[in-house]
Structure formats: structure tokens, C-alpha cells
């Protein structure tokens, strides 16, 4: 639309300026706001730009002042405008800016220091939203600056806007927010969505079709002029972008060389007009070098490492331009581009793609940054000569890099605050950001008389290997010190999140088989990480062909999204993109109760103590109790078994797998629901099986069997034992009656089980598996009975050690009166 026209204008302008060699006027923004927050009149910065007051954009409340302005108490090496004055927010405050439709750059300027009002930014945490996007969340400008080498900071976002850009500052509880400057600049239509110069975005490491919707917001996390100097706002081609040198991101061992071709002019084209990047970006670059011994280049990758937040999609834009006279045709310099250890482009031939020497081009890639390298990973960009087709030069080239973070499916761009680099008073080399590397370039330039034809390898030779400054080596690289805080987990704010398939694929390393922690009839369960790697989750993915599974997934989602209990496994969210059905749960590091009973590694994994087993039973019983009585209508689980009782890291038991669960009777008069029999053979209530009526007592029956297994460490049905032992229920029952229980229990329990608790436990378990449902206790009573059993055990154990023998009996006789120990006697089954 309007920006289309703009594009045309830009191209015309660029064509016009080409002859003059002045490319800086390439783009004239239609929207431009430069706001010096907290001031009341216009101010002029060192580069003669006029910044206006923020007052007319502030949506103020008539009732009280929600913000005030204050001047910085110190001014350490930051430009005066816009950093010396701040607007400080006491509460949520909105700014509003009228803009034309389309994407806008939004730059926020922060100078964390003390202000004259007494406000100290060290205690300031806040969030920033714009038109529904969360840009920053519980953000600390102070921590962010301490993790960098400068004293001030600019956050650049790219947000889609229709008519108004509403910017909201929201202080975290008992905190204030602040901002020093706001800048809004328009850009050419679809500048970051249409793809590179070939209108394509290559999806790295995935075959999923990817295009950038016009509802996407970005954050610029890196913009680098490879091999060159900083290009500041004024040096940019119209959009006031800042391009930084690559010293901090190039992997220092193989840093390559920086060829210099004096007086070169970049031949911009319609596909790569001047606004894409200034001449300085395309004129300077890095190559691998080693002209005399090119085979060396086959031994390494020229590598850059970029700090990013995990769990986001990134748009990586790479800029290329060959300017050496001897690299003048296709097939001469061919290399492979790796992004995040994956091949992004196998055969990259700049001249072949761009059409000639000095013609710039840029390519866009989309890459998922997962969690392989820990919580705050680096995005690795590597270039390697592609030798298979025998190019003339075993070398690679790169001129510029832009890395943009795309918003998550919840519309958030916020990452965690970094950890400070070093304490601020030690921070070396307080570099003024806009003066960084300005006059002390470390690149030795040898000026050559370049005359078109005769320059051959001479140019390579004239090139000087890059020497890294001694001072620089003292600096700690940013990317090794940043760690996320766990403060930003959205888990607390969303009861049940909807995940995009991208997030799920990030979380599971694209369903990496190595991360499978369980499989079932429905599909597989993967261990994954979300929220920037900070939260471990279990990701259950439905197998493609399972219709029954699809129904169970829906049931589980419906049930679990409404239930929250410490003894029920929590559902974090789900994903139903692209015909996938995925459920995301809290991760249970200690796995299933079943594995602890039967599959444990005797050497490394001690058997569960009797006390712990009782606690696990109590936990699972409480979970069931909650299902049966905690919600408006009883919920019948229908599939209680040792595989569906999971243990967290502290062995707290949680009931899982609600795929078969059913809402119980919904009226007083009804006591059951009629339904087709489902469940797991062996755990199935015989009454339910016979009569096809389901009550909460069916779960009680299954729970009784779990208790038997916990006690005997023996599967419910086994063939290889004598007949009378093959059915666990009958076997336990007969030993219970015969008083020989101690002979059938798990031998590992023999050391610490107390007789009195054993008897009590069996009594409850035997009641649970009564043939008639009405004779089985409700879960309430099972919980009480088990808690009492634990109490008996603890008392008896203490007495065995200490010598006084009668406490347990005393306790027993005392509570006997209250009927707690024998809850079932004389009690009518509760109306369901």
C-alpha cells in the first residue's frame, strides 16, 4: 500500500544517489519520533538531531501524577541527550503515538544510575508492552547494563502497528519504572517479513513451511558490521540503525582476515537497495585468509557466537558482497553456511547469486534456538569452504549479520535478565556506546593502488591478519556469563497454556528420540525444556494413527486443565497445531512408582523405605480423594495402577493419566454411571466388570491393588509361581487371615517395617479390594487409615529404639475409641 509506494521511491532515490556515491539518504522515514523523556522542551543531541518532550504523548490521569521526571545524579560517558533526564513511573502509564500502518522500529533508551529525586535504578524492575506484545518483563536495565561493557543501553524492537502505537510501562510490585528516550522510525514495507534479496526465508533444520505473519513483532538482538567499524545512527541508510563491529562475537581463534579494498563503490540494485545496509557494511568483511596455504581453511570454520535467549525463533539475515578484483566470477569462492550446528546453505557462491563483484546481496534464515547448550545458549554461525566442487579459493566471506528474535506464540519477546558481568566498579573500559571503536581501530589498513585489471592475488597478500588488542582479551565474553533468572516463568500466569508446534519442537529438540522417557499405546513421552530452558517438562505426543488416543487426550486435557492439586500431576499446556496432539506436564524426575518397585538398579537406587512407601500411598490416596470429593462432581479415574503414580524429586506422589477418567454421577439420586468397561486388566474392579456400572469405589479397588504391590513388590498376576500365589489378592488375603503376612512382604522391607503398621496397612488394603463396592471404604477413610498407619509406624519405631514399648499400643487404643483406625466399621457407604 503506502509502503509499496515508498519502496518504489526508495529505489528511485537509490538509483539517483548511486552516481554520486552517497547512499545514506536512501530511506526517508514517514514516521519519526525522537522523544527525550522527562523534558519539557526540545533538546538537540550531539549529532544535531532534535528530540522532543514526551508530555504530549503521555496519557495522564487527571486524578494524580503517575510519573515524574528527574535528572541523573551522575553522567558517566553517556551522551547528554536523551540520557540525562528520565521519566520515572509510579504506576502503569501509557504513551500513545499516532503512526501509519506497518512495522515500526521502536527503540527504548535507558541509562541506569541514581537520579536526583533519589530514585536508584538498581531497584527498578518493570515490564513494557506495546499493542498487546510484551517487550520486556520484570526487566532490570541495571542488570542488563552491568552485563555489558557500556553504561547505557538501547533496546530495539520492531512492532506491527495499525494506527496507534500504545506503549505501556508497568513497574513490578514495589518498584518504579523509568525510561530516558523513545524513538519510533518507520521502515520499508515487509522489510523483515518478505525474506532476503531473493524474497525467501530458509528454514534451517526443519522442513516446516515458514512465513512471517504481519502480526509478528521482533527484537533486534544483534546487528553486526563484520570486519568493520561501528556505523552509528547517522551513518545508517535512513533508519537510524546502529551496526556494531564483530570483535565481541567472532570466535577469537580463527578470526580470519579483513581485506581492505580502498575506494570501492557498492553497486546497489533493485533487489538490494541502499536502505538494506549502508556501504560500510558491504565494503568491509572477513575472510579466512591463509592465501599461501589454503588447505588450512578446510580444517576449521570461521565462527561467530551470538548470545540469545533460548526457546525463541530467530530471523538471521546475512549480508554479502565481494569486492576483491580477483574474485570476479561464479564458482570461485564457494562455502557452506552453518547456523546452530545445522547446514543453512551448502553451496554459497556470492558472485553467482548477486550477479557480480561489488553487487550486494542478503539472505534470510529462520532458526529455532533450543536448549542444547544450556539455558542461555549461543547461536553459532559458522562458515566453511565447500571443497567438493573445487572452487578457485578455499575461503568464505561475510559482511554483515542481523539477528532478530520473533515473538513467542503468547506475543512475548521478553527474556530473562542477564547476570552481571563483573561488579560495576571493575568494569573495564567504560565505552561510550556511540563512540565505541570510533578512532582506535585495530585494523591495519594498507592502502593499495587498485587498478581494475592487474590486481590478482596481490590483494590477498596485502591483506593484514587481524591482531586482537591485548586489552580486549581481558574482557569476559558476554555469552559465557549470562544465566537466566527464574523470575519470568509464565507458568504462574497461565493455568493452561497453548503451545505452538514450534515451541514444542524446541522443547523436545524436534522430538529427539534420545529424549523419550516413556512410550505407551498412545505414543511417546519426551523430556523437554520450556521457558528459556528453565523449566523441565514431560511432553506427551499422540501417535498419528491413534483414534482412541485422540479421545483420551481430549478427556485428559478437559479434566486436568480444571484440576490443580499437589497430588495430581499438573498439566502445563497443550498443542494442537498441524494435526499434532501434544500435552505438556510438569516433569516428574523420579518416574513411576512401578519402576521404583520393579525396575530399580539395586546398586545405585536404594529400595524405598517403608516410611516412604507409606508416604507415597498417602499422597496418591489424597490425590484420589480430591478427585472423588474435591470437585463439584466426583471424578472417577478408572485407571489407577503403579504406572500412573508418579514421583517428583522429593518422592511426592502424583496421580497421572486422566485419559480414561469420567465425571461421576451428577445428581444425588444417581450412584453410578453406566459405561463401557475400560481400564487395565488386573486392576479392574470385578463389580464394574460384571455390572458395567462405574462408581468411585472402582478406583478404591484398584488402589487396594496398588497397596498390595507396594507391600509385596510383586506384580498382580504372575504365572511362574505356585498356583496359590499367582493371584496377588488371594495370596495376600490368605496370608493376612493366616497371620503369615511377614513372610510375603518385599524382603527389602523386612529391616524397617513394624508389625503394627504392617497389620494396619493390610487391613486397609484388604478392605479396598472387597468384592462388593459398598463394602470398600471411601478414599477419605483410606487417607485417614494410612496416615494413622504411618503414625503407628513412627511411634513403634521410636519405641523400639528408645525402649518404652507401649506408646504405639496406647495410641492405638486411644484412637480406637474415635474409630479412626477402623473407619469402615458400621459406616453406610456415602451417597455418591
Q: In this chain, which stretch among 214-222, 465-473, 747-755, 765-773 interacts with ligand NAG, using CB under 6 A?
A: 214-222
Binding piece for ligand NAG, criterion CB under 6 A, among 167-175, 540-548, 674-682, 717-725: 167-175
For residue 62, state whether it binds ligand NAG (rule: CB under 6 A): no
CB of 178 to ligand NAG, least distance (A): 15
| Stretch of residues binding ligand NAG (CB under 6 A), selected from 213-221, 469-477, 536-544, 720-728 | 213-221
Catalytic residue among 639, 685, 699, 746: 639
Crossing angle for the helix pair 755-768 and 610-629, to the nearest 10 degrees: 30
Binding track over 494-513 against ligand NAG, x by CB under 6 A: ------x-------------
Q: Which three cell numbers stand for residue 541?
A: 505426543
The whole-angstrom separation of Cα 494 and Cα 115 is 36
Interface residue with ligand NAG, options 20, 48, 62, 64 (CB under 6 A): 64
Residues in contact with ligand NAG, shown as a per-residue x/- string from 169 to 188 under the rule CB under 6 A: ---xx---------------
Query: Rule CB under 6 A: is residue 341 a binding residue for ligand NAG?
Result: yes
Type and span of the H or E element at 8: helix 2-18
Instruction: Output the CA–CA distances (angstroms, integers) from residue 625 to 275, 618, 648, 674, in the order listed.
Output: 66, 10, 19, 21
Taking CB under 6 A as the criterion, which residues in 738-767 touch ligand NAG? none
- 781-796 burial, b at 16+ Cβ within 10 Å, e below that, comes to bbbbbbbbbbbbbbbb
- The stretch among 162-170, 201-209, 602-610, 707-715 that binds ligand NAG (CB under 6 A) is 162-170
Binding track, positions 402-431, relative to ligand NAG; x by CB under 6 A: ----xxxx-x--------------------
Among 118, 174, 213, 743, binds ligand NAG (CB under 6 A): 213
Contact range with ligand NAG by CB under 6 A, out of 157-165, 234-242, 524-532, 697-705: 157-165
Q: Can you list the positions of beta strands (E) in 433-561?
A: 497-498, 516-520, 523-530, 535-542
Residues 801-830 that bind ligand NAG (CB under 6 A): none
Are β-strands 244-245 and 218-225 bridged in parallel, bridged antiparallel, or unpaired? parallel
Q: Binding of ligand NAG at residue 267 (CB under 6 A)?
A: yes
Query: Is residue 462 involved in binding ligand NAG (CB under 6 A)?
Result: no
Q: Is 630 in the site for ligand NAG (CB under 6 A)?
A: no
Complex with ligand NAG: residue 327 or 647, whichever CB lies closer = 327
Is 59 among the residues that bind ligand NAG (CB under 6 A)?
A: yes
The stretch among 211-219, 545-553, 586-594, 764-772 that binds ligand NAG (CB under 6 A) is 211-219
Closest residue to ligand NAG: CB criterion? 411
CB of 725 to ligand NAG, least distance (A): 57
- Which of 121, 152, 180, 216: binder of ligand NAG (CB under 6 A)? 216
For residue 264, what are the CA distances in angstroms to 234, 358, 481?
21, 8, 40
Residues facing 524 on adjacent strands: 519, 541
Closest CA to 353 of 190, 189, 191, 200: 200
Torsion angle of C-alpha atoms 243, 247, 252, 258, degrees rounded to 10: 80
Residues 431, 436: Cα–Cα separation, whole Å: 6
Number of C-beta neighbours around residue 807 at 10 A: 15
Considering the rule CB under 6 A, would residue 304 count as an interface residue with ligand NAG? no
Work out which of 41, 48, 163, 423 binds ligand NAG, going by CB under 6 A. 163
Q: Under the criterion CB under 6 A, does residue 254 sit at the interface with ligand NAG?
A: no
The distance of closest approach from Cβ of residue 304 to ligand NAG in the complex, given in angstroms and rounded to an integer, is 12
Query: Going residue by residue from 371 to 400, which x/- string records binding to ligand NAG, judged by CB under 6 A?
Result: -----------x-x----------------
- Give the Cβ contact number of residue 332 at 10 Å: 18
Q: With CB under 6 A as the contact rule, which of the stretches 93-101, 229-237, 448-456, 665-673 interacts with ligand NAG?
A: 93-101
Q: CA distances (Å), 286 to each of 245, 300, 350, 498, 742, in order?
A: 11, 15, 14, 43, 77
d(CA 599, CA 608): 12
Question: Could you give the CA distance from residue 627 to residue 630 in angstroms, rounded to a whole number?
Answer: 6
Among 263, 331, 355, 428, binds ligand NAG (CB under 6 A): 355
Contact 279, 220 (CB under 8 A): no
Q: Closest CB to ligand NAG among 67 and 570?
A: 67
CB 355 within 8 A of CB 268: no
Q: What's the min distance (Å) between Cβ of 132 and ligand NAG?
A: 6
State how far the alpha carbon of 508 is from the alpha carbons of 12, 204, 339, 491, 534, in Å.
48, 16, 19, 18, 14
Cα 18 to Cα 170, 236, 272, 796, distances in angstroms:
46, 16, 13, 93
Among 52, 70, 166, 203, binds ligand NAG (CB under 6 A): 166
Q: Where do runs of H (alpha helix) occur along 33-170?
A: 80-83, 141-146
CB atoms within 10 A of CB 619: 22
Does position 485 bind ligand NAG by CB under 6 A? yes
Q: How far is Cα 651 from Cα 620, in angstroms, rounded to an integer?
A: 11
Distance of alpha carbon 558 from alpha carbon 553, whole angstroms: 8
- Give the one residue of 24, 73, 100, 131 binding ligand NAG; rule: CB under 6 A: 131
What is the smallest separation between the CB atom of 428 and ligand NAG, expressed in angstroms? 25
70, 73, 148, 487: which one binds ligand NAG (CB under 6 A): 487
User: 321 with 399: CB under 8 angstroms?
Assistant: yes
The number of beta carbons lying within 10 Å of the beta carbon of residue 126 is 21
Any catalytic annotation for residue 639? yes
Contact stretch for ligand NAG (CB under 6 A) within 208-216, 571-579, 643-651, 654-662: 208-216
Which is nearest to 186 in space by CA: 79, 99, 96, 263? 99
Total residues at interface with ligand NAG (CB under 6 A): 42
- Enter the C-alpha cell of residue 614: 507409606
540 is in an annotated binding site: yes
The nearer residue to ligand NAG, 5 or 59, going by C-beta atoms, is 59
- Which residues carry out catalysis? 639
Binding residues vs ligand NAG (CB under 6 A): 59, 64-65, 68, 94, 96, 101, 125, 131, 138, 162-164, 166, 168, 172-173, 213-216, 267, 269, 299-301, 313, 338, 341, 355-356, 359, 382, 384, 406-409, 411, 485, 487, 500
**Which residues make up each annotated binding site for ATP?**
540
Amino acid at each position: 500500500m503506502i509502503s509499496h509506494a515508498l519502496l518504489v521511491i526508495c529505489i528511485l532515490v537509490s538509483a539517483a544517489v548511486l552516481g554520486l556515491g552517497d547512499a545514506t539518504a536512501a530511506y526517508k522515514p514517514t514516521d519519526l519520533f525522537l522523544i527525550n523523556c522527562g523534558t519539557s522542551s526540545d533538546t538537540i543531541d550531539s549529532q544535531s538531531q532534535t528530540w522532543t518532550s514526551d508530555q504530549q504523548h503521555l496519557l495522564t490521569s487527571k486524578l494524580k501524577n503517575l510519573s515524574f521526571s528527574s535528572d541523573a545524579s551522575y553522567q558517566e560517558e553517556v551522551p547528554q541527550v536523551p540520557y540525562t533526564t528520565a521519566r520515572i513511573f509510579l504506576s502503569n502509564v501509557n504513551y500513545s503515538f499516532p503512526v501509519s500502518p506497518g512495522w515500526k522500529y521502536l527503540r527504548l533508551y535507558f541509562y541506569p544510575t541514581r537520579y536526583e529525586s533519589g530514585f536508584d535504578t538498581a531497584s527498578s524492575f518493570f515490564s513494557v508492552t506495546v499493542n498487546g506484545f510484551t517487550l520486556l518483563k520484570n526487566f532490570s536495565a541495571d542488570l542488563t547494563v552491568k552485563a555489558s561493557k557500556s553504561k547505557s543501553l538501547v533496546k530495539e524492537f520492531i512492532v506491527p502497528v495499525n494506527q496507534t502505537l500504545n506503549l505501556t510501562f508497568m513497574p513490578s510490585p514495589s518498584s518504579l519504572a523509568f525510561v530516558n528516550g523513545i524513538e519510533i522510525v518507520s521502515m520499508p514495507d515487509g522489510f523483515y517479513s518478505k525474506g532476503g534479496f531473493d524474497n525467501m526465508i530458509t528454514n534451517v533444520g526443519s522442513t516446516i513451511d515458514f512465513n512471517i505473519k504481519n502480526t509478528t513483532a521482533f527484537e533486534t538482538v544483534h546487528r553486526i558490521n563484520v570486519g568493520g567499524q561501528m556505523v552509528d545512527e547517522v551513518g545508517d541508510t535512513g533508519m537510524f540503525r546502529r551496526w556494531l563491529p564483530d570483535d565481541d562475537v567472532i570466535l577469537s581463534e580463527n578470526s580470519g582476515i579483513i581485506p581492505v579494498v580502498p575506494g570501492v563503490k557498492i553497486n546497489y540494485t533493485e533487489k538490494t537497495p541502499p536502505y538494506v545496509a549502508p556501504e560500510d557494511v558491504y565494503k568491509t568483511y572477513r575472510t579466512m585468509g591463509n592465501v599461501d596455504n589454503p588447505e588450512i581453511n578446510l580444517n576449521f570454520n570461521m565462527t561467530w557466537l551470538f548470545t540469545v535467549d533460548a526457546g525463541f525463533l530467530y530471523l538471521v539475515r546475512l549480508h554479502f558482497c565481494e569486492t576483491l578484483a580477483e574474485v570476479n566470477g561464479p564458482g570461485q569462492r564457494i562455502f557452506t553456511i552453518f547456523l546452530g550446528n545445522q547446514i543453512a546453505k551448502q553451496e554459497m557462491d556470492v558472485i553467482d547469486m548477486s550477479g557480480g563483484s561489488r553487487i550486494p546481496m542478503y539472505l534470510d534464515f529462520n532458526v529455532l534456538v533450543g536448549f542444547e547448550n544450556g539455558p542461555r545458549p549461543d547461536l553459532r554461525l559458522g562458515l566453511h569452504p565447500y571443497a567438493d566442487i573445487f572452487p578457485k579459493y578455499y575461503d568464505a566471506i561475510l559482511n554483515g549479520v542481523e539477528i532478530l528474535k520473533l515473538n513467542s506464540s503468547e506475543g512475548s519477546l521478553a527474556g530473562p535478565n542477564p547476570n552481571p558481568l563483573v561488579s560495576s566498579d571493575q568494569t573495564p573500559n567504560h565505552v561510550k556506546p556511540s563512540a565505541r571503536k570510533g578512532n582506535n581501530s585495530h585494523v591495519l589498513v594498507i592502502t593499495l593502488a587498485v587498478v581494475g585489471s592487474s590486481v590478482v592475488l596481490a590483494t590477498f597478500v596485502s591483506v593484514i591478519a587481524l591482531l586482537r588488542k591485548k586489552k580486549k582479551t581481558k574482557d569476559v565474553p558476554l555469552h559465557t556469563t549470562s544465566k537466566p533468572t527464574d523470575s519470568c516463568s509464565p507458568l504462574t500466569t497461565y493455568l493452561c497454556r497453548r503451545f505452538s508446534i514450534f515451541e514444542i519442537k524446541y522443547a523436545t529438540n524436534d522430538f529427539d528420540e534420545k529424549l523419550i522417557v516413556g512410550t505407551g499405546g498412545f505414543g511417546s513421552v519426551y523430556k523437554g525444556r520450556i521457558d528459556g530452558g528453565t523449566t523441565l517438562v514431560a511432553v506427551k505426543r499422540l501417535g498419528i494413527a491413534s483414534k482412541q488416543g485422540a479421545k483420551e487426550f481430549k478427556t485428559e486435557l478437559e479434566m486436568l486443565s480444571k484440576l490443580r492439586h499437589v497430588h495430581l500431576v499438573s498439566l502445563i499446556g497443550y498443542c494442537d497445531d498441524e494435526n499434532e496432539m501434544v500435552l505438556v506436564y510438569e516433569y516428574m524426575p523420579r518416574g513411576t512408582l512401578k519402576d521404583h518397585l520393579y525396575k530399580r538398579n539395586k546398586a545405585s537406587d536404594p529400595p524405598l523405605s517403608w516410611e516412604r512407601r507409606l508416604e507415597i500411598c498417602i499422597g496418591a490416596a489424597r490425590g484420589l480423594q480430591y478427585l472423588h470429593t474435591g470437585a463439584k462432581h466426583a471424578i472417577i479415574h478408572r485407571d489407577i495402577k503403579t504406572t500412573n503414580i508418579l514421583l517428583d524429586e522429593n518422592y511426592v506422589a502424583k496421580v497421572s493419566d486422566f485419559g480414561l477418567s469420567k465425571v461421576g454421577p451428577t445428581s444425588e439420586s444417581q450412584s453410578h454411571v453406566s459405561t463401557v468397561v475400560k481400564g487395565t486388566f488386573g486392576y479392574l474392579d470385578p463389580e464394574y466388570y460384571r455390572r458395567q456400572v462405574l462408581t468411585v469405589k472402582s478406583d478404591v479397588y484398584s488402589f487396594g491393588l496398588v497397596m498390595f504391590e507396594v507391600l509385596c513388590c510383586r506384580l498382580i498376576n504372575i504365572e511362574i509361581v505356585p498356583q496359590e500365589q499367582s493371584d496377588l489378592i488371594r495370596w495376600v488375603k490368605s496370608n493376612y487371615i493366616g497371620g503369615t503376612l511377614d513372610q510375603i512382604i518385599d524382603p527389602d522391607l523386612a529391616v524397617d517395617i513394624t508389625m503394627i503398621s504392617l497389620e494396619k496397612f493390610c487391613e486397609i488394603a484388604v478392605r479396598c479390594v472387597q468384592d462388593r463396592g459398598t463394602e470398600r471404604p471411601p478414599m477419605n477413610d483410606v487417607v485417614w487409615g494410612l496416615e494413622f498407619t504411618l503414625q503407628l509406624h513412627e511411634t513403634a519405631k521410636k519405641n523400639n529404639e528408645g525402649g518404652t514399648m507401649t506408646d504405639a499400643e496406647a495410641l492405638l487404643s486411644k484412637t480406637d475409641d474415635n474409630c479412626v483406625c477402623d473407619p469402615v466399621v458400621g459406616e453406610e457407604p456415602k451417597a455418591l
